Each structure stands twice: as structure tokens, then as C-alpha cells.
Amino acid sequence: MGVGWCSTEKENYSLLSNLDPRTKIFLGAMAIAAVLFTRTPESHVLESLALLLVMYVRGVLRPWGRGMKLMAPMIVLVFAIGLISFDLETASLLSIRLFNLLTVSFVFFRTMPPEEIGDGVRKLGLPYEFSFILTTSMRYVPLIGRRIRLIVEAQMSRGIDLRPRIRNLRNFIALLMPLLIQSFLLSEELAMAMEARGFGLKGRTYRRTYRITSRDVVLVLLSLILLVAFLWWERG
């Protein structure tokens, strides 16, 4: 749920775009709950197929594939640990569950821009400081990812091998030091921008006004009914 997960595009926000952000967050939570409460590998496979179908319809399979390349080692590691500690069925269940959780998070962040997530979190009663940290981190993750790629390309052009090999471990200081310096510069620029805009002032206003409509209520109730029915079916 890191680099690539938050690199949203404006055309992908049209899915459920008229819903209140709180409704979208609730629907995302219901999807995560369905994955967590799934018991059998067969049901997880069906969930994976459904998620892949949704992404195919939305035309985001390619960016999802790029993100999954980063997450694939984690899934393989979970499978290996589960196979060593338990059995093949449990290892498969754990790895497929992690795969589905990562895919659900991808769909969620491709559907909601950071601004809507921050507004939804504030409407749920959480402090503005928390929502600011959340939205800022979502914005800066892809930015840091691009900085890493630029640094790697610049150092490789200078003859410094930064490919992921054991013999290249000592060369990674050429990546870490410029990245650390650029991170400090970004944080200083952010702090100056926050101070210039009066971050700590009271009486903050918002660009958009959100209201819970009948459509939101229907979707929330429908998702609850589907989740309860799914849990009942899973328990046999």
C-alpha cells in the first residue's frame, strides 16, 4: 500500500463520485471486513476474480500490476512463513488474503483522491491534524518514489551500480544520502507553506459541503446486508 498505491489519476475518480466521502470510507471498510472474515481459499479466489473484474472494467490493471511488483516479495514471504509454520492450505489462505487486502486498498485509493479521504476523515470526527498527516503522506509517497527513480538514474549514469544485488549494498549510500537531503528540504518547504497559510488558526472553512443523501443510506444498508449474508454463508 505504498509507492504506486496512491498515484491516482483524475479520470479514475468518477467511480461513485457523487457519494459522500464517509460513505466511500464505509464501503471500503466493508470490503476489507469481507476479506478478513473469509475463511476458505476458494472464497478468496472468488474475491480476487471479482476485484480483477472491477479493475478490468475501470481500466486500471496496468498500474495495479506495477504496484503489485513491489508487493510480490511480501506475498511470497508470507506464503513461505505460513508453509514453514503451518501447512499448504493455511499458507495459501494467508497469501491470498494479503493479496486481496492489497488489491482492495488499491481500488480504494484509485477511487478516492486524497482531498476526499481527508474530508471524510474530518466529517467522521477525527482531528484536522490527523487528516492533514494522512493526506500529506498520500501526496508525498508518489513524490518520494519519483525522487528515488531520479536519484537512481543519476547515480547509474555516473557509473554507480544500484541494482538490487548483495555486492551493491555498499553503493546504496549514494541513494540514501541524496534522498535524505531531499526529504529534509521537502519537509522544510512544507513547514514554511503551512506557516504562511496559518495552519494553526481556528475557524477553518472547507471548499466543499458534503451531505448524506438517500443514495448513500441505501448503499450503506445494502453493503451491511451483503456483508452479513456473506458471513452467514461463510459459516456454512
Number of structural domains (the chain) is 2
Cα 189 to chain center, whole Å? 25
Q: With a threshold of 0.85, does the pTM exceed it?
A: no
Residue 62 lies in a domain: yes
Q: pLDDT digit of tens for each residue in the chain (236 aa)?
A: 444 444 444 444 444 567 888 888 898 899 999 999 888 878 888 889 988 888 888 788 888 888 788 788 889 999 999 999 888 888 888 999 999 999 998 888 887 888 888 888 888 888 888 888 888 888 887 888 888 889 989 998 988 888 877 788 888 889 899 999 998 998 888 888 888 877 777 767 777 778 888 888 998 999 999 989 988 887 76
Question: Based on the domain organization, do 4 and 93 belong to the same domain?
Answer: yes
Share in percent of the chain as helix, strand, coil (round to 5): 75, 0, 25
The secondary structure of residue 38, as a DSSP letter, is: -
Residue 134 lies in a domain: yes
- For residue 110, give the nearest of 19, 16, 18, 23 by alpha carbon: 16
Question: Based on the domain organization, do 3 and 97 belong to the same domain?
Answer: yes
- Look up the domain containing 140 and give its range: 128-195
